[in-house]
Amino acid sequence: MRISSRSGLPSLLLYLGIGIAAGEDGIGNVHFDNAVLTQVFGYAALVVILAEGGLGTKWKQIRPALPAAISLSLVGVAVSVGVTATAAHYLVGLDWQQALIIGAVVSSTDAAAVFSVLRRVPLPARVTGVLEAESGFNDAPVVILVVAFSTAGPIDSWYVLVGKIALELTIGAAIGLTVGWLGASALRRVALPASGLYPIAVMAIAVMAYAVGAMAHGSGFLAVYLAAMVLGNAKLPHWPATRGFADGLGWIAQIGMFVLLGLLVTPHELIDDFWPAVIVGLVLTMVARPLEVVISLLPFRIPWREQALMSWAGLRGAVPIILATIPMVMEVEGSDRIFNIVFVLVVVYTLVQGPTLPWLARKLRLGEGAEAADLGIESAPLERLRGHLLSVAIPEKSRMHGVEVHELRLPAGAAVTLVVREGKSFVPLPSTVLRRGDELLVVATDPVRDAAEKRLRAVGQGGKLAGWLGTGREIG
């Protein structure tokens, strides 16, 4: 990870390399050619990655960029597919079906690849908002196109494809927003028995959105992204723990997916497809992507410097390689070559674009005077600070009733930081009188944690004079 961060390369290359090294041409000599299993695992991993991305998407940041992102995800994808497929047909010699499949496969950008490089460069909120939303939205239409182009028999007319895409996106969006809203409402009203269940519940709701969307013949990928985005902006309980859990789960999904993709490829077969991949990638990067950005953003009057960065920031990561397994599963003629071309294209142009993105941002002066970034404030993990958070309930017969906070005489390093009374919370004063039914939150440093708990138990049984008159000495 440190090498990836310093070099500017997305870490996907490291995991792909591990998979290749373990494969039949590597030191592991593992023979693996199960495209169906790879696709199933890849789809599952992509659902988790989209859910994690949606949970981290801030509505206030992408809301102004939403029209531009939608245009890039629809109009832009069409432009990219047309230009790239034409190049693959006339310059590389692929038949039209194979060319269209490659054009569709590589038209999807990858949020994880883009932001693993750009996270170190402060950018205007509009740029990051457009790129993030585009990466979350464009998977859905691309999957529909790849499946349509991979189907045996004649390809549907363009207006039929447009209608299918519009219908599936509408169904997926409606289901995603509905499931996200219902899930957020439920989690705010239902008290789960353990705080560790909230992260699991949030991810389960997001995955359920994908399942419902797919069963309703809508876009499951759009459904899971939107449901996660609604959940991520709903101010749910135990949110820092949920974000940490989702982030870790997303990394596990990416690592497993990339290693499996590396195992599936056969390196010695890539040699013949190296230059075709370079040619297709060159047209995609230097012609299709800039043209896609210019045409899609024409109504929005976005400055040319921002458009230039968006053109170069169209990184392709795991998604195109996963989508390249679709024609393999559907047994399209030449599907192995399609997979090899896509694999080489992703690796080569990630090596080229990844390290140069921060440099280009600086040259375009987009990192200067950018909007102030959020501080990323969250609940600090007390174990890292050598602290403990104690929750103390005052029951009906407790002698802590009527005791003032300062009369608790907690050891130095411990303090009552919050009182919850009749559903309302407040920060107590030293003179605050405690009552039956109160719940106290006490922060104590590690050395005095046991002493603070012992003192609280003693006061609960012996009152404010506990310890002075011998009451509660044996309570621990």
Q: What are residue 419's DSSP bridge partners? A: 426, 440
Lowest mean pLDDT of 71-85, 183-197, 373-387, name the range. 373-387
Position 331 scores a pLDDT of: 87
Residues 6+ apart with CB under 8 A from 299: 71
Q: What are the pLDDT digits (tens) for 173-218?
A: 999 999 999 999 999 888 788 878 889 999 999 999 999 999 998 8
Lowest mean pLDDT of 1-15, 228-242, 320-334, name the range. 1-15
Q: What are the pLDDT digits (tens) for 92-128?
A: 999 999 999 999 999 888 766 665 665 556 677 788 8
Mean of pLDDT values over 124-144: 82
> CA–CA separation, 87 vs 421, rounded Å?
69
Position 401 scores a pLDDT of: 92
Position 199 scores a pLDDT of: 92
Lowest mean pLDDT of 10-24, 99-113, 142-156, 377-391, name the range. 377-391
> CA–CA separation, 131 vs 138, rounded Å?
11
Lowest mean pLDDT of 38-52, 295-309, 375-389, 440-454, name the range. 375-389
Bridge pairing between strands 424-426 and 439-445:
unpaired
Nearest Cα residue to 38 out of 222, 219, 259:
259
Query: Model-level pTM?
Result: 0.73
Question: Is the confidence at residue 367, as pLDDT, over 80?
Answer: no
Question: Is the confidence at residue 467, as pLDDT, over 50?
Answer: yes
Report the SS3 class of residue 153: coil
Q: Which domains does the chain have, with CATH numbers?
A: 2-363 (1.20.1530.20), 387-462 (3.30.70.1450)
Position 402 scores a pLDDT of: 92
Position 7 scores a pLDDT of: 41
Share of the chain above pLDDT 90, in %: 36
Question: Is the confidence at residue 374, as pLDDT, over 60?
Answer: no
Q: Are 221 and 50 in contact (CB under 8 A)?
A: yes
Position 474 scores a pLDDT of: 39
DSSP 361-408: HHHTT-STTPPPPP-------TTTTTEEEEEEE--TT-TTTT-BGGGG
Position 6 scores a pLDDT of: 42
Give CB contacts under 8 A, 24+ apart, made by 462-471. Answer: 462/399, 463/399, 463/400, 463/403, 464/403, 464/404, 464/407, 464/408, 466/399, 467/409
Whole-number average pLDDT of the chain: 84
Q: Residue 134 carries which side chain, given as an amino acid letter?
A: E
What are the φ/ψ torsions at residue 343 (nearest 5 degrees)?
-60, -50
| Tokens of residue 10, six digits | 């997305």
* Torsion sign across C-alpha atoms 451, 457, 460, 465: negative
Residue 8's pLDDT band (cuts 50, 70, 90): very low
Residues 6+ apart with CB under 8 A from 205: 179, 180, 183, 187, 227, 231
Position 57 scores a pLDDT of: 81
